[in-house]
Amino acid sequence: GDSVTQMEGPVTLSEEAFLTINCTYTATGYPSLFWYVQYPGEGLQLLLKATKADDKGSNKGFEATYRKETTSFHLEKGSVQVSDSAVYFCALVILHTDKLIFGTGTRLQVFP
Amino acid sequence: DGGITQSPKYLFRKEGQNVTLSCEQNLNHDAMYWYRQDPGQGLRLIYYSQIVNDFQKGDIAEGYSVSREKKESFPLTVTSAQKNPTAFYLCASRPGTGVNEQYFGPGTRLTVT
C-alpha cells in the first residue's frame, strides 16, 4: 500500500547548521507530496508542497524536491534557527483520492 | 479572521462517557477531516466528509461517530466503545476539487480516566 517513511529523530543541531530530514515514499499512483510542521501543543501547518516530479517546494528557507527516480522528498534548510525546533511530517496524497498519508514525524531540536 | 477552530483545547472525561469534540471552519472549504495523533506516531484518519450530509470512515473509525449537517461544522463524538480514547485530536479541511493540501486546526487533547 501507499506509505511514507521518515528518518528517526530527534535531529539535534546547533543554530546555523545545515538541515536534512529524509523522506521516502511508496505510492501506487501519482502522489502530491507535502511537508507539515507541528510546534509543541499545536496543530499542523503546511510548510511546502510539490505536485509533480522535479518540482521544488520552498517556504521560509526550507525546500524539498520531488524526486520520482528515488521516490524521495527530503527536506533541507541551509541555516536553522532555534525557532525551527518542531516536529516535521512528510505526507502524500494520491491523485483522485481524499486521503493524506503521513510519516511518523521527525523531531528537530536546535540549540543556540 | 478565517480559519479552523477546535474547542476546547483540553478535555477531561471519565471512562464510559461519550464526549463530543467541536470543529468549525469559516474558510468555505468543502471537505473536512478528523485525525488522531498518539505520541511518537503519525496522524491516523478517523472520518472524513467531502460534502454536507455525507461522510466516510477512515482507517480507525471504530468507537467514533460524526455528523456533517452544515458545511462549516464537523463534530466528532468519541463513544464509550472506543477502547483507548486518550489522544490528541486534529480537525482539518480542504478547499475542494483540484486542491490536495489540507489545513489543520489547533487540536483538542482528550484525556479519559
Contact A57, B101 (CB under 8 A): no
Q: Each residue of B1-46: pLDDT tens digit?
A: 669 999 999 999 999 999 999 999 999 999 999 999 998 778 999 9
pLDDT in tens, A12-56: 999 999 999 999 999 987 899 999 999 988 999 999 999 999 999
CA dihedral A53, A55, A58, A61 (to 10 degrees): 90
Q: Which three-class secondary structure state does DSSP give residue A83?
A: helix
Residues of A with CB under 8 A from a CB of B: 4, 32, 34, 36, 41-46, 49, 51, 89, 93, 95, 98-100, 102-105
Residues of B in contact with A34 (CB under 8 A): 101
- DSSP code of residue B73: B
What are the Cα distances from residue A92, in Å, to A78, A99, B11?
Answer: 24, 8, 30
- What DSSP character marks residue A82? G
Q: pLDDT at residue A11 above 70? A: yes
